[in-house]
């Protein structure tokens, strides 16, 4: 079995993923999270929120609608720019993008044409299939957004949101006002988005309904950098792949990159923070992480600077995008100002301007897939070495034996600590089998009540990654697990007992 199949098999078997509407044969591009996957998803989101809201004093979580009116997405550019006119060859079935086809034949841009114009252009120039010379069919518009009709007669046109970012832009004026007109202002949204992908594939890597976590930082370009503690990151070595050298990761410190002059300090600061999130919080190995710069042709026209966050996924053949750091300038707010006729200018420190936006954007599902890929060690026994904070369950309680009062004590401990930690109870099978079950879903700590426990009012605490054990008194359990969870103590530094 290949790595992809191994991971998918485990994900299905252990309650991480479920194909949507599975009993009806499934629905391409949609997956659900099972009982372990849902916890992992939640915990990833919690960790993301904690980390990224922590980047600023004025950064906040909001929650916005999945349905947006036509007008808002017209303003954002999604209606026009995400519509491609496709033409299929009637002979070889090859799909062509009309704008590219027309440009190739006539030398003039076919961008912005509607289907009728495309058809005329095709006829006038006798355009034929670029591959086989066959006759071309009818041009068909394709937009990646899911259209909706609202109301009893469907008179209101709308779309499911293709990104969470728009919610932040739409709420910016009110939040800016309520938050006392301070900049920078960060608005984070974590939620589901929808794109009608032509060919969803590769598990949860490309879905039609997926989760995004995005932070939009609205800032004053003249003062943003003054508020950032650049010294904190200046010696951080960033793992970047620059536009000029796609062949290798260049390890360059923030200071070095700053000296080169083409990337502003505020941007480098946030690249460093994103890297820190991956290396420290998510514990992604250094060599599995990189920041990949997109060139002008690859990035959206409104992005002045764009690095993709990439993580190596062996199941998908190498480095793949899991997020992006986008300097969107004032494009979004300017567009919404023009279309809504609402004032997006702010008066800040004596000047009037439209704030610029730095977007930190992450696809949650592909991040989770990447973590499973990096952390699933499938040897003789499968062990998910996921960070403690992300594990679906933090601990499990077992009686060593199913008699002699051990189950009673184990259940007592279980009922107590499940109030504080995500905890499982298991008394089925041998003790080794129970440890193995927990390893497979990444539970970092197992607590076993044995003979001595009854007398000493303690139990053994076993760590997933080392399989080492220490004795901990029942009274010390909560503070000990709390410290392990928050990382203020390491397992190997616990007093070895028993």
Partner RNA sequence: GCGGCCGUAGUCUAGCGGUCAGGACCGAGGCUUCCCAAGCCUCUAGCCCGGGUUCGAAUCCCGGCGGCCGCACCA
Residues that bind RNA (CB under 7 A): 1, 4-5, 8-9, 12-13, 19, 24-29, 77-78, 81-82, 84, 88, 93-97, 100, 144, 162-163, 195, 197-203, 206, 300-301, 316, 380-382, 400-403, 428-433, 435-437, 440, 448, 450, 459-460, 462, 467-469
Nearer to RNA, 175 or 468 (CB): 468
User: Which DSSP helix (H) or strand (E) runs through 479?
Assistant: helix 477-486
Other Cβ atoms less than 10 A from the Cβ of 490: the count is: 10
Q: How far is the CB of 418 from RNA (least distance, A)?
A: 19
Instruction: State which residue, 206 or 252, has the beta carbon closest to RNA.
Output: 206
Measured CA distances, 385 to 7, 95, 266, 349 (Å): 14, 43, 34, 49
Cα–Cα nearest to 328, from 419, 193, 215: 215
Q: Which is nearer to RNA, 74 or 276 (CB)?
A: 74
Nearest distance from C-beta of residue 55 to RNA, angstroms: 22
- Say how far apart CA 382 and CA 1 lie, in whole Å: 14
Nearer to RNA, 12 or 53 (CB): 12
Pick 220 or 308: Cβ nearer RNA: 308
H or E, element range at 46: helix 35-53
**C-alpha–C-alpha distance, residues 138 and 99, integer Å:** 14
Q: Of 25 and 151, which has the nearer Cβ to RNA?
A: 25
Question: What beta strand segments (E) does 49-184 contain?
Answer: 59-62, 67-69, 83-89, 95-97, 136-143, 147-150, 156-160
For RNA, which is the closer residue by CB, 403 or 419? Answer: 403
Give the separation between CA 91 and CA 133, rounded to whole angstroms.
9
CA distance 383 to 369: 15
**Residue 160 vs 240, nearer CB to RNA:** 160
Give one word for 208, left, alpha or beta, with left for phi > 0 and alpha for psi -120 to 50: alpha
Closest listed residue to residue 205, CA positions, set 320, 309, 310: 320
**Smaller CB separation from RNA, 25 or 350:** 25
C-alpha 34 chain-centroid distance? 18
Tell the smallest beta-carbon distance from residue 22 to RNA (Å): 9
Peptide bond into 184 cis (omega under 30): yes
Which secondary-structure segment (H or E) carries 79? helix 78-81
Least distance CB 231 / RNA (angstroms): 35
Residue 459: which H helix or E strand, with range?
A: strand 458-463
Rounded Cα gap, residues 430 and 432, in angstroms: 5
CB of 395 to RNA, least distance (A): 14
Nearest distance in Å: CB 313, RNA: 11
Diameter of the chain by CA atoms?
93
């Amino acid at each position: 079995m290949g790595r992809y199949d191994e991971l998918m098999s485990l994900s299905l078997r252990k309650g991480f993923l479920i194909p949507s509407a599975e009993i009806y044969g499934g629905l391409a591009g949609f997956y659900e999270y099972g009982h372990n996957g849902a916890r992992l998803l939640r915990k990833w989101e919690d960790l993301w929120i904690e980390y990224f809201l922590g980047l600023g004093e004025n950064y906040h979580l909001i929650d916005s609608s999945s349905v947006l009116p036509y007008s808002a997405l017209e303003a954002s550019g999604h209606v026009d720019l995400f519509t491609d006119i496709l033409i299929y060859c009637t002979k070889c079935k090859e799909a062509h993008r009309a704008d590219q086809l027309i440009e190739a034949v006539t030398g003039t841009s076919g961008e912005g044409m509607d289907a009728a114009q495309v058809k005329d252009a095709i006829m006038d120039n006798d355009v034929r299939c670029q591959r086989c010379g066959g006759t071309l069919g009818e041009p068909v518009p394709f937009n990646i957004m899911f259209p909706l009709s609202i109301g009893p007669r469907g008179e209101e046109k709308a779309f499911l949101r293709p990104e969470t970012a728009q919610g932040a832009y739409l709420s910016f004026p009110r939040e800016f006002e309520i938050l006392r007109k301070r900049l920078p202002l960060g608005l984070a949204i974590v939620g589901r988005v929808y794109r009608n992908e032509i060919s969803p594939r590769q598990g949860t890597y490309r879905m039609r309904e997926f989760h995004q976590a995005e932070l939009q930082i609205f800032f004053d370009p003249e003062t943003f950098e003054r508020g950032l503690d650049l010294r904190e990151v200046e010696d951080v070595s960033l793992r970047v792949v620059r536009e000029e050298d796609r062949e290798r990761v260049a390890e360059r410190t923030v200071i070095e990159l700053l000296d080169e002059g083409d990337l502003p300090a505020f941007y480098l600061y946030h690249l460093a923070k994103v890297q820190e999130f991956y290396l420290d919080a998510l514990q992604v190995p250094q060599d599995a992480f990189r920041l990949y710069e997109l060139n002008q042709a690859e990035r959206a026209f409104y992005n002045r600077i764009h690095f993709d966050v990439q993580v190596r996924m062996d199941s998908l053949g190498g480095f793949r995008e899991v997020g992006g750091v986008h300097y969107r300038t004032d494009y979004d707010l300017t567009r919404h100002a023009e279309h809504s006729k609402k004032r997006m200018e702010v008066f800040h420190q004596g000047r009037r301007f439209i704030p610029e936006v730095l977007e930190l954007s992450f696809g949650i599902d592909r991040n989770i897939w990447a973590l499973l890929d990096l952390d699933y060690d499938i040897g003789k026994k499968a062990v998910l070495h996921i960070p403690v904070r992300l594990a679906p369950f933090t601990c499990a309680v077992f009686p060593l034996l199913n008699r002699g009062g051990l189950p009673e004590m184990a259940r007592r401990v279980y009922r107590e600590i499940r109030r504080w930690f995500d905890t499982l109870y298991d008394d089925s099978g041998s003790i080794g089998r129970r440890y193995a079950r927990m390893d497979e879903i990444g539970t970092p700590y197992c607590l076993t009540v044995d003979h001595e426990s009854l007398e000493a009012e303690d139990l053994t605490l076993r760590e997933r990654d080392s399989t080492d054990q220490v004795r901990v008194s029942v009274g010390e359990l909560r503070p000990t697990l709390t410290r392990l969870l928050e990382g203020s103590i390491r397992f190997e530094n616990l007093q070895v007992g028993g």
